[in-house]
Amino acid sequence: MSFNIDEIRAQFPVLDQQIFGKPLSFLDSAASAQRPVAVLDAIDYYYRNDHANVHRGVHQLSQRATIAYEAGREAVRDFLGAPSTKEIVFTRGTTEAINLVAYAWGVPNLKAGDEILLSGMEHHSNIVPWQFVAAQTGAKIRVIPMDDRGVLDMEAYAELLNERTKLVGVVHVSNALGTINPVKQMTQMAHKVGAVVLIDGAQAVPHCAVDVLDMDCDFYMFSGHKVYAPTGIGALYGKKALLEAMPPWQGGGEMIRSVTFESTVVAPPPTRFEAGTPNIAGGVGLAAALGWIQALGMDAVAAHEQQLLDYGTQLLGNFDRIRLIGTAPEKAGVLSFVIDGIHPHDVGTVLDMEGVAVRTGHHCAQPVMERFGIPATTRASLGVYNNRADLDRLAMGLTRVMELLG
C-alpha cells in the first residue's frame, strides 16, 4: 500500500460527515483515533462468522475464535519487535497495563526507602498507580524535571538515579506536549543502577516504529484505540524473566493451571495475567489495525505526521496571541497551545462550531499544566488521515475564535 492521503482518508467512513454544516476536521487522535474499514470489517466478520469463547472450547467456532484472538497477540509481538508471544499480555489498555505492573511487580518488589523515578510529563495513569503502590510499600516517588520546551533534563535524571532507584517510568511520547523522550538512552542509564524500566507507549505506537528489544526496556504498554483499533484492548510487553517471577494480580477463570478449595496453581505468563473472558473482538480488531498501519509503513506514517506538524506549527506561529506548550526539537503530532485571554474550553467550543474537533483541558497531565503555570491547553493532535486542509481549517477556526472572543 502506498502512502496516498486521499486513499487513506477514504478508508475512514467517520471522517465523511458534516458538523454544523461544515466538513469534519478530526484533530483529536491523541485522545482516541478513528478506525479504518479494515478494522471495522475484521470485527464484523468475526462476529458474523466465528464468535465463541476462546481457549477452552473443542468446537469449531471456539477454535476459530481462539486462532483469531491469538493472531492479535502475534500481531502485537511483531509490531513491538518482542521475541515471544509469551511476553505479550492483553489488557484493557495502557492504564490497566501500568496497574498490572504496579501491583504484580511493584508491590512485591518495593519497600521503604526504595525510589520510583517518574518523568514530570507522565499521564496520570503512570502517576496514580505508583502513588497507591508507594503508600502500600513505603517507596518514594521522585520526579525528573523538564525545561521550558518540554524536554527532560537529562543531567537531573543522571543525578536522580541511584542504587535506591528500583523503577524508572517514562512516557515515550507525551500526550500533552508531544515530546519524544530518549527512552533508549534513559533505559541504558537506569539499567546501570539496576532499575527496572517501564515505558508508556500510548502515544508513541501510532506515530513511530517501536522496537522493544533495541530499546531494552523491561515493560512497554499501549492502548489499541490510539492506534486505529477498538477501545477496551491494549497490550503489555514484559521481559519473560520478570513476568515469570510476578504473581497474578487478578484471580478467576483462564489464569489457572488447577484449582481446589485448598489451593490454586497459577498458569504461566501471559495467561497468568489474563483472568476471565477476554476482549476477543478487540484482539481481532487490534490485529487488523496493526496489520493495516504496518502495511502503510511506520516510517511513511511518521514522515507524513512530521510534515503536518511542521506545517501546523508554522500556521500557529502566525498568531501573536498563541503560545505553543511543548516545543521540543523531537516531537510527535501534538499541537498544544494557549491563547492569551481566552479559555481553552471556549476555544474548543468555537472550533467545534467550525467542524474542527480538538481537545481542551489538562489532558490527564495536571503536573505538566502546573509546570507551565496554566490550567489547561487546547490540543490539536494528528492522525494518519489528517491533511493540510485540516490544519488550514484549524487556523481559520482560530481566526474566528479571536473575532468572536478576542
Write out the catalytic residue numbers: 364
Residue range at the interface with ligand PMP (CB under 6 A); choices 195-203, 249-257, 270-278, 335-343: 195-203
Q: Which amino acid is at 253?
A: G
CA distance 111 to 396: 54
Binding of ligand PMP at residue 123 (CB under 6 A)?
Answer: yes
**The binder of ligand PMP chosen from 71, 209, 267, 364 (CB under 6 A):** 364
CA distance 177 to 326: 4
Instruction: Assess contact for 392 and 28: CB atoms under 8 A.
Output: no
Binding of ligand PMP at residue 11 (CB under 6 A)?
Answer: no
Binding of ligand PMP at residue 125 (CB under 6 A)?
Answer: yes
- Minimum CB distance to ligand PMP, residue 201 (Å): 8
CA distance 87 to 272: 11
Residue with cell 511520547: 173
- Which CB sits closer to ligand PMP, 171 or 290? 171
- Which CB sits closer to ligand PMP, 173 or 401? 173
Binding of ligand PMP at residue 336 (CB under 6 A)?
Answer: no
**Phi-psi map region of 246: left, alpha, beta (phi>0 left; psi -120 to 50 alpha):** beta
Give, as ranges, the residues between 142 and 171 that touch ligand PMP (CB under 6 A): 171
**The binder of ligand PMP chosen from 11, 33, 68, 93 (CB under 6 A):** 93
Helix (H) or strand (E) segment spanning residue 234: strand 234-238
**The binder of ligand PMP chosen from 28, 87, 200, 354 (CB under 6 A):** 200
**Sign of the CA dihedral running 126, 132, 137, 138:** positive
Residue range at the interface with ligand PMP (CB under 6 A); choices 93-101, 105-113, 263-271, 398-406: 93-101
Strands 165-171 and 115-119: parallel
Which long-range contacts does 318-321 make (Cβ < 8 Å, 24+ apart)? Answer: 318/395, 319/398, 319/402, 321/402, 321/406
Give, as ranges, the residues between 16 and 35 that touch ligand PMP (CB under 6 A): none
- Minimum CB distance to ligand PMP, residue 172 (Å): 8
Residues that bind ligand PMP (CB under 6 A): 93-95, 123, 125, 171, 175, 200, 202-203, 223, 364
